[in-house]
Amino acid sequence: MAFALRKRGPSTFERAADGSMSLMEHVRELRNRLFRASLAILIGFGFGIWLATPVRVLLSKPYCDLPQAKDPETGLCRFVQLGVADVFLLNLKIGLWVGLIIAAPVWLYQLWAFIAPGLHRHERRYAYIFTTLAAPLFAAGAVLAFFVTTKGLEFLLDISGGDISTTLEVTRYISFVTNLILLFGVAFEFPLVVLMLNFVGLASAKKLLSWWRVAVFVFFAFSAVVTPTPDPFGMTALAICLCALYFAAVGVAFINDRRKGRRKESYAGLGDDEVSPLELDDDPVVATPELELSEPVSASEPVAPPRPIDRRFDDMT
């Protein structure tokens, strides 16, 4: 029995990269990837609902660890619910956030698989590096926000005095903590912007270092505006961390500049649009004795045309 071997055709990624896919094929691919991402988020949302209560307890820990937050009689943490369905809706909101985090590897992959064919190879390599660094930086910002929340609440509740009883509303408190975590996490992604400017060649490390005074001022001003607590602790902690990350990014930029050889003296005085000089050899060709003694090439003989084919057909009787 003979088996026919079929050659495997190009993959979807290869067809999207070389531009051989039609518009309708791109639309169908986008539909399929959106469906997979939505299905993953829906499954993650189911796990998020199951983990909503433990996550809410974890987010309440900065407030509940303070002595002002505990009931003198029961010793339990006190929160207020203004609406009947506030806690239920809050659990749904927390479940959605947790579901997005759980399903992040799936929907991020689907997004990347749709965008990556349109990028060059070095652009995809840079995207891998930046994505690998973005997750730990965001996590570091979230941990700092959690720490700042604890110190900020302690400061705010201490200045209220012992004659005032403070009870927080649960939905507003959770929104306060989650917004602070999101804000600090996004702020910690700023070094990636600095590295991107250097890697694409828009700003050298020397130029980035010359902006350090402006960068430090902007970091402190940004921290003073976006930090929701009026205490100086949170503002200073965020600004110092951003300054440290900025100088670390500038150090990586120096290493990248040295690796690419941008500091070579041979190219120091040349502009990006300057035309390089052409070395033209205008010396005439001089006949040498070898060329004079060489025998001339004889002309080729004409080729005779082919003979006509004599086709004879015998009569068939």
Q: What is the pLDDT of residues 277-299, one digit of tens each?
A: 655 555 555 555 555 555 665 65
In this structure, of 27-41, 205-219, 261-275, the range with the lowest mean pLDDT score is 261-275
**DSSP letter assigned to residue 77:** B
Q: Mean pLDDT, to the nearest integer, of 198-207?
A: 81
* Residue bearing the bigger pLDDT, 205 or 17: 205
Bridge partners, residue 169, by sequence = 80
The pLDDT assigned to 113 comes to 79
pLDDT in tens, 210-245: 888 888 998 888 888 877 666 677 788 888 888 998
- Distance CA(242)–CA(220), nearest Å, equals 9
Q: Which two tokens stand for residue 273?
A: 């649009």
Burial of 148 from C-beta contacts in 10 A (0-12 / 13-18 / 19+):
buried
Residue 265 has pLDDT above 80, yes or no: no
Residue 313 has pLDDT above 60, yes or no: no
Yes or no: say if 191 and 249 are a contact pair by the CB < 8 Å rule. yes
The pLDDT assigned to 2 comes to 44
Q: How confident is the model at residue 5 (pLDDT cuts 50, 70, 90)?
A: very low
Report which residue type is found at 298: S
pTM confidence score: 0.68
Of 145, 45, 53, the closest CA to residue 99 belongs to 45
State the residue for tokens 């840079």.
126
Q: Mean pLDDT, to the nearest integer, of 195-207?
A: 82
The CA radius of gyration of the chain, in Å to the nearest whole number, is 35
First to last CA, the chain: 45
The pLDDT assigned to 57 comes to 87
**Which residues in 35-87 belong to E strands, given as ranges?**
79-80
Q: Map residue 244 onto helix, strand or coil.
A: helix
Element (H, E) at 252: helix 232-260
State the residue for tokens 């902006």.
211
pLDDT in tens, 51-105: 988 998 888 888 887 777 777 677 677 788 888 888 888 899 999 999 988 888 8
Number of neighbouring beta carbons within 10 Å of residue 205:
21
Percent of the chain with pLDDT over 90: 5
Q: Is 69 left (phi over 0), alpha (psi -120 to 50) or beta?
A: alpha
